[in-house]
Structure 1
Amino acid sequence: MTGRMRHLAAALTGLGLGLAAVGPGLAPGFVLSYDMVFVPDPTFSRMTFGLTGVMPRHVPSDAFVTALSTVMPADLAQKLILLAIFVMACSAAASLVPSQRLIPRLAAGVCYAWNPFVAERLLLGQWALLLGYAALPWVVAAAMKGDGRRLVIALIPAATGGFAALAVSGLTAVVITLCGPRRADALKVIGAVGALSLPWLVPAFLRPGGVPGDGAAVETFAARADTPFGALGSLFTLGGVWNGETVPSGYGTPVVAVLWLLVVVGALIAYGKYGRDRALPIAAAVGFAIAALGTVPGLLKGLIDIWSGFSVVRDGQQFVAPLAVLVAVGLGLAADRLIEARLGFVAACAVAVPVILLPTLAWGAAGALRAVDYPDDWARARKIIAADSVPGDVAVAPWAAYRSYPWNHGRRVLDPLQRYLPRRVIINDAVTVGTTTVAAEDPRAVALDPIMRAPTAEALAHEGIRYVAVDAGDAAVPGAEEAYRGRDLVLYRISGTSAVPEKKVPVAPVVTAWIVAVAVIFWSFLASGPTLVPQLLGRNSSRRRTP
């Protein structure tokens, strides 16, 4: 089989995994789950680029989705992105295996695209993080080779995903560079990662209040046990997400956990015996250490108290991504040696093991991820607000960040009205997990908090609120005019709204940040010569360093 056919086989396998995983989410409509928020006909706004008081965690991923939705329906754009994650993940991991045989490559690709990390992050709706995760093996290959332009190209999916994706991929690239023969290039790698981070980094540091550093968030987002092996054991087996509601059903039972642990240990032993490059294991170890920080009482909280920038690692489990690369490549190496030992059937079983041990990722995580349509009431409310020339913002009740709408089968989702309505929408962005509440970050939400607990039209008008969107059946707003009432939503209009000066992120530095980031990407393409497709497919992979 030629190299081109092997790459195609890996991509098609990834597509098959994606179709199996997304399942009912491929039907017309939108998949809405926790942080996965796509809306029909999104438009560019100040929020899209992080110019409001909200932390720009959605930058530049929202801009990417909005741009893509200008050339195709937004729900189709979502499905293509989700499928692309699986195609890239399988193809990228397969390209790292130093073998001309197809089965070892597919074993690595399937393992990387179908594991507890992917399942839990998909259920958590973090498609932007998974976009960077999918391309991480390409980042590893570029960093090993010391090719700066190729590295920038490989980092584009992570840069599109935003701060979490780029933090994981950037850290991995820096560690591998420092451990390789081109240590002097580490500053260049840091510079490239920094340049690609500017679209979210600049608005984050220029927002009112700067980067928040709530120590209470450490306990909330620390890795948790989802197997019998405790938090550290769960991280070691590529699980351990902080949100217990996003653990796939059936995962973590003693039998499955032990079998998956054996796969991970066997893959790591195989890499230790047959893998030549030692930079990837070091990157995996560093990532695991960061993932474990939150499990050490008081350690990460103390670091955040010293400098709020350490908040970027409070959701530590995402940093086990390089360990997932190591496990996948190790499984591929093990399959390759099994074939050499004339145990081809056992090697073929290695391809199917991840799917067998995690069957509930299939069919939209056992039906958890289903496509839904937004209610007609939302579209009518949007038209009313769009036609109103009186300035003012929109507040949302109930006063909470995550909602469980009946029309979304009760599944929690970050309030989509922020992206759905054509005005600044203010929600209570404080997050409560168990008995712990992470303080609100949006200054407008902080100011509105006491008012929204017992809202009146007069108080809201004084705070610059023109409309209040309320779930049908929720409490009315005394003194407000009912602009629309439907089965799923009630819209109240408030008269006499006062203009409220709001501290916003200055536009000029953000525009400059985007220009620099885009210029770096164009430089990488123009200087490299070849198109992105051969680069991503791993063409000429026989000349790269062997992992």
Structure 2
Amino acid sequence: MAVLIAGPLLGPGYLLLRDAVSTPRSYMTDSALGLGDAAPRAVPQDALLAALTPLVDGGVIVKAILLVALWAAGFGAAVLSRELLRVSTGPQLVAVTVAMWNPYVAERLLQGHWSLLTGYAALPWTALAAYRIRARRASTSDAAFRRTPPTAAATTGRATNTAHKMRAPSAAEGDHGTIIGTDYGKKSAFHGGAVGSWAALAGCFAAAGLTPTGALLAGSTALVLVGRRNLLGTLALLLASSAPWLTATALSGAGSEPSDPAGIAAFAARAEPALGTLGSLAGLGGIWNADAVPGSRTTPLALIATALLLALVATGIRTTAGIKTRATRRRADDVESDTVTTHSAHPDIATSADHAACAGDIDRAALRIRRGLLVLAVFAVVLPAVGATSWGMSGMEWLVARVPGAGLLRDTQKYVALAMPAYALCAAAGCRAIAVRCAPHTGAAHSRTTGMALTATALIALLTLPLFDVARGVGGALRPVHYPIGWQRVAERIDGPGDIAVLPGGMFRKFPDTGKVAVLDPAPRMLPRDVLQTGELPVDGHTVAGEGVRAQEVETALLHGASAQRLGELGVGWVLVEHSTPGPLGASKTTLAQLDSVYNDSQLTLYRVPDATDHVAESQSAHRVIAYAAHILWAALLVGGPLLAAIVRRHRSRFTASFRSAPSS
């Protein structure tokens, strides 16, 4: 499914679509570290690309991250539904479809928010890590190590305490912290599992923290789910994984000023045909930019797709919330036990069935996580809808005008991503519920398994067909582009002091290869010096002010034909003119006539400002050291978290296997 969505990008070339900019090589400039005068919105993603592109082509890195994010979102939804609902493969695949094939993913791809999708993909894994932390926390009492767990004794009703003490824990029991039997080796296994769960959470935070919004998404999910006793540790990990953009905001001062209130109305969630704002958000759509929407969402298919999705979610919401009758539970367990037995070659499914038989129908930790995700989904849909009302926008305008950093909240539709884990769980539960209702009360296990497979196949088709244009790079919009060789030659000639100013004015471009779609100027990521950008965003005929004060002064000076000396005073050492894109040039010819031409072709011209000097504060060197340290901490969590979790999981699996093979006494 990930290849179906982003397949066109697998060819040679680079992603250049609206906010998405990938380049062959990036540089570790102050802007990449978030130390420019614009808000650090692309931190630490720009620093990551700057560190890796000397070794690997930047286009390949961005494509790989995007494909892995799409895959991880789907696989995470499958694992989450298996762990929290104990469903078999068919319902898991329905959860995968809901997580990957939806308007949110399509719209954010069209907007160019490839790095935001890493935060989206981290959400089910964050919920899973929170569940394991919470389940293990419940097992810290001495009784968990010395006697039969009360939950198991109360729910199974078939095994004695002696039998529990002699039986080795299953792999699933180890995963959930239900460690039973003798004291030998149990405490070390428990604490190792706890470390692994916290390490996994750290990795989730770091992956989501590729952008500030992603960090807020994963952090909100974890803080809601981990429980009060784990809040302090979770908050500490979240702050550590967010260190790059938090320190950049503090050091650069870009986050100390309030945002332009005009951005609230410009970025408010948008109503789609026949749905209204609330219906669009409930269907995981409603992005502010009407141009970044799949064609199917502009037709009655949007209503059909949303109705099908919400009907499936509603079918499974009772089970996800833990509200079901005994008869329904028995029939579901019969169908699932047959299906899981048929797929027993899959070790994870087999261990989930073992845990279900041992621990009973209701795992309290899982139930609390599921209910927490449902509450989070309600807020993720309702609050952006409220924010799109007149009084909601007034409240948000008051907030961003008075609270520094509140501008992160202006694109409220981004936070609809928080509903995805709950939607995936409800879809999986709904698939199982429909299969149970359609399954015969008696019959062979094979027929029940076939019924589950047919139900899942039908639901997957119903979810994907109304959004047919998500395939092939969202209707062909995601396609690689190629940069002229002039960009490389310009980068090679910038070998002196001073920042870079760019003409035409503004930070968006329309190149021949990108057609009518406005894209971010690739210059800041293509050139080895800081490129001054105002941060101004043109939206629907209006302009939302940015934070780049010095960049605004430089652009004004160029458009008014200021002297070369004035540019030098502003710290500008280079001026790049991009000829193949429209935009304001003003009286810049007067200024350019005073500069030295260094490179010129049909698309790019580079000028050097005479006697330019670096415009760097004395404290900037210390700021770089702090910024580097913050990025190293983030990278350590990104790599070390999953690695430590994998090592602990492998060690505990070996311990379980050796414990099982030991003779009972």
Task: Judge same fold: TM > 0.5, yes or no.
Answer: yes
1:469 corresponds to which of 576, 592, 596? 576
Question: Counterpart of 2:294 in 1: which secondary structure?
Answer: coil
- Going from structure 1 to structure 2, the CA distance change for 1:259 and 1:425 (only over 3 Å counts) comes to closer
- Going from structure 1 to structure 2, the CA distance change for 1:261 and 1:429 (only over 3 Å counts) comes to same
**Quick one: which amino acid aligns to residue 186 of structure 1?**
L
Asked if the contact 2:320/2:371 (under 8 Å) is kept, the reply is: no
- Corresponding residue for residue 195 of structure 1: 240
Does 1:482 find its partner at 2:592? no
Deviations 1:479-528 (A, max 9, x none): 23332221221222322335545585823432443455456567756864
- Corresponding residue for residue 127 of structure 2: 140
Deviations 1:368-415 (A, max 9, x none): 111111111212211222xx33x1221111111111111333432211
- Corresponding residue for residue 155 of structure 1: 205
1:506 corresponds to which of 613, 623, 638? 623
- Going from structure 1 to structure 2, the CA distance change for 1:525 and 1:231 (only over 3 Å counts) comes to closer
- Corresponding residue for residue 3 of structure 1: none
1:493 corresponds to which of 587, 599, 608? 608
**Cα separation, 2, equivalents of 1:461 and 1:422:** 18
Does 1:169 find its partner at 2:224? no
Asked if the contact 1:24/1:367 (under 8 Å) is kept, the reply is: yes
Question: Counterpart of 1:506 in 2: which secondary structure?
Answer: helix
Deviations 1:237-284 (A, max 9, x none): 101111111111121422432332232243134123444331111111
Question: Counterpart of 1:278 in 2: which secondary structure?
Answer: helix
Q: Give unpaired runs (5+ residues) of structure 2.
A: 135-196, 323-369, 440-450, 658-665
- Corresponding residue for residue 501 of structure 2: 395
- Corresponding residue for residue 379 of structure 2: 286
Asked if the contact 1:104/1:347 (under 8 Å) is kept, the reply is: yes
**Cα separation, 2, equivalents of 1:498 and 1:346:** 69
Deviations 1:91-130 (A, max 9, x none): 0001111235211101101110110000001111111110
Asked if the contact 2:595/2:608 (under 8 Å) is kept, the reply is: yes
Does 1:432 find its partner at 2:538? yes
**Cα separation, 1, equivalents of 2:474 and 2:639:** 38
Segment of structure 1 superposing worse, 29-38 or 204-213: 204-213
- Going from structure 1 to structure 2, the CA distance change for 1:131 and 1:519 (only over 3 Å counts) comes to closer
1:124 corresponds to which of 111, 124, 130? 111
**Quick one: which amino acid aligns to residue 482 of structure 1?**
S
Following superposition of structure 1 onto structure 2, how do residues 215-294 of structure 1 map, counting pairs within 5 Å? 215-276=261-322, 277-294=370-387
Question: Counterpart of 1:320 in 2: which secondary structure?
Answer: helix
Does 1:326 find its partner at 2:422? yes
TM-score (norm 1): 0.87
**Cα separation, 2, equivalents of 1:287 and 1:264:** 15
Question: Counterpart of 2:297 in 1: which secondary structure?
Answer: coil
**Cα separation, 2, equivalents of 1:112 and 1:499:** 48
**Cα separation, 2, equivalents of 1:68 and 1:470:** 28
**1:72 offset after TM fit, Å?**
2.5
Percent identity between the aligned chains?
Answer: 30
- Going from structure 1 to structure 2, the CA distance change for 1:409 and 1:336 (only over 3 Å counts) comes to same
**1:361 offset after TM fit, Å?**
1.5
- Corresponding residue for residue 411 of structure 2: 315
**Quick one: which amino acid aligns to residue 205 of structure 2?**
L
**1:193 offset after TM fit, Å?**
1.0
Following superposition of structure 1 onto structure 2, how do residues 378-417 of structure 1 map, counting pairs within 5 Å? 378-385=487-494, 388-389=495-496, 391-417=497-523
**1:34 offset after TM fit, Å?**
1.6
Asked if the contact 1:29/1:371 (under 8 Å) is kept, the reply is: yes
Segment of structure 1 superposing worse, 354-363 or 519-528: 519-528
- Corresponding residue for residue 67 of structure 1: 51
Does 1:373 find its partner at 2:482? yes
Question: Counterpart of 2:291 in 1: which secondary structure?
Answer: helix
Does 1:357 find its partner at 2:466? yes
Asked if the contact 2:499/2:614 (under 8 Å) is kept, the reply is: no
- Corresponding residue for residue 44 of structure 1: 28
Following superposition of structure 1 onto structure 2, how do residues 534-545 of structure 1 map, counting pairs within 5 Å? none
- Going from structure 1 to structure 2, the CA distance change for 1:348 and 1:470 (only over 3 Å counts) comes to same
2:40 corresponds to which of 56, 60, 73? 56
Q: Give unpaired runs (5+ residues) of structure 1.
A: 1-16, 541-547
The higher radius of gyration belongs to 2
**Cα separation, 2, equivalents of 1:184 and 1:297:** 36
Does 1:80 find its partner at 2:64? yes
- Going from structure 1 to structure 2, the CA distance change for 1:374 and 1:207 (only over 3 Å counts) comes to same
**Quick one: which amino acid aligns to residue 460 of structure 2?**
V
TM-score (norm 2): 0.72
Segment of structure 1 superposing worse, 81-90 or 288-297: 288-297
Question: Counterpart of 2:20 in 1: which secondary structure?
Answer: coil
Asked if the contact 1:395/1:469 (under 8 Å) is kept, the reply is: yes
- Corresponding residue for residue 355 of structure 2: none
**Cα separation, 2, equivalents of 1:532 and 1:299:** 47
- Corresponding residue for residue 114 of structure 1: 101
**Cα separation, 2, equivalents of 1:301 and 1:416:** 31
**1:227 offset after TM fit, Å?**
3.4
- Corresponding residue for residue 179 of structure 2: none
Segment of structure 1 superposing worse, 244-253 or 105-114: 244-253
